[in-house]
Amino acid sequence: MKTLRIRLSTLQLLITLAFYASFSMADDPLLNEPGYDQYAVQEHDSDPYEGFNRAMFSFNEELDYYLLRPVAQSYNFIMPDFANRGVTNFFNNLDDVETLANSILQGKFHNAMVSLNRVIWNTIFGLAGLIDVATYMGLKNEEEDFGQTLAVWGYQNSDYVVWPFLGPSTFRDTLGRAGDRYSDPLYYVEELSDTDRLLIEGLKIVDLRAGLLSVESLVTGSDKYSFIRNAYLQNREFLIKDGEVEDSFADEDFDFEDF
């Protein structure tokens, strides 16, 4: 199970990479090449808007290539390692509040208590979350968000969609993203102006993208769109069902333990 969780944790990074390093198959000459993997582009039951989604996938690729990726590379070059890690820890600490709220809504009280303790220790003794002391203490929680909460409440099946700027999602998870705004502590800080909030959100996106530079090469295959879509949907199922799903990657030869 530990190896499975490591695999899917890395897989989640690859899924998020769809926002930043997408790939378009629309009108691609590769489709006409002999030996092309037709199975990879077959119709998917959860993807009835594939034409729109592939167009958005291509748009996000261009956005990443000309803007986000260069900014992330510059960010990694300029930021000292300790400062880079501190920014990541800060945003992870905010995400733990999101996990706390959704664990309560789902009745997962043990995970809620672990998340609460993580927030307390990291906020007080970790300099507002810049240092992740909770993990060193063995406090590890399971990620929860409002999209998962909606699934637990009965909204199980939802169509896949790729949004411009936001990347891969489902209609359920899109509603979940909107709901998660209310579990973000920064949402309640009245002193922050709209400009401040945009700058913080921009820093979060750049920090996330910078962390994905080292795993870009793992997104491979003749049809990256299908790979990302299937990986996203499988990962969401894994998170919603707390790992109680069949791991289609378990029998593969690759292993992501080094990540």
- Report pLDDT digits (tens) over 177-190: 999 999 999 999 99
Q: What HEC string does the chain produce?
A: CHHHHHHHHHHHHHHHHHHHCCCCCCCCHHHHCCCCCHHHHCCCCCCCCHHHHHHHHHHHHHHHHHHHHHHHHHHHHHCCHHHHHHHHHHHHHHHHHHHHHHHHHCCCHHHHHHHHHHHHHHHHCCCCCCCCHHHHCCCCCCCCCHHHHHHHCCCCCCCEEEECCCEEEEHHHHHHHHHHHHHCHHHHCCCCCHHHHHHHHHHHHHHHHHHCHHHHHHCCCCCHHHHHHHHHHHHHHHHHCCCCCCCCCCCCCCCCCCC
pLDDT band at 1 (very low <50, low <70, confident <90, very high): very low
pLDDT band at 215 (very low <50, low <70, confident <90, very high): confident
Contact 105, 111 (CB under 8 A): no
CB half-sphere exposure, 37, CA atoms < 13 A: 10
Examine residue 254 and state whether it is found in any structural domain, yes or no: no
Examine residue 188 and state whether it is found in any structural domain, yes or no: yes
What pTM did the predictor assign? 0.77
Examine residue 34 and state whether it is found in any structural domain, yes or no: no
Percent of the chain at pLDDT above 90?
69
Q: How much is the pLDDT for 222?
A: 76
Residue 34 has pLDDT above 80, yes or no: no
Amino acid at position 211, single letter: G
Mean pLDDT of the chain: 83
Residue-wise pLDDT tens digits, 62-94: 999 999 999 999 999 999 999 999 999 999 999
Residue carrying the six token digits 């582009």: 41
CB half-sphere exposure, 252, CA atoms < 13 A: 9
Examine residue 257 and state whether it is found in any structural domain, yes or no: no
Examine residue 127 and state whether it is found in any structural domain, yes or no: yes
Examine residue 168 and state whether it is found in any structural domain, yes or no: yes
- Collect all residues with Cβ–Cβ distance below 8 Å to 117 and sequence separation of at least 6: 134, 139
Number of domains, the chain: 1
Examine residue 139 and state whether it is found in any structural domain, yes or no: yes
Range of the domain at 139: 2-29+44-240
Q: In this structure, how many other beta carbons lie within 10 angstroms of the beta carbon of residue 25? A: 18
Rounded mean pLDDT of 209-229? 86
Q: How much is the pLDDT for 44?
A: 67
pLDDT band at 32 (very low <50, low <70, confident <90, very high): very low
Torsion (CA) 130, 131, 133, 134 in degrees, nearest 10: 40
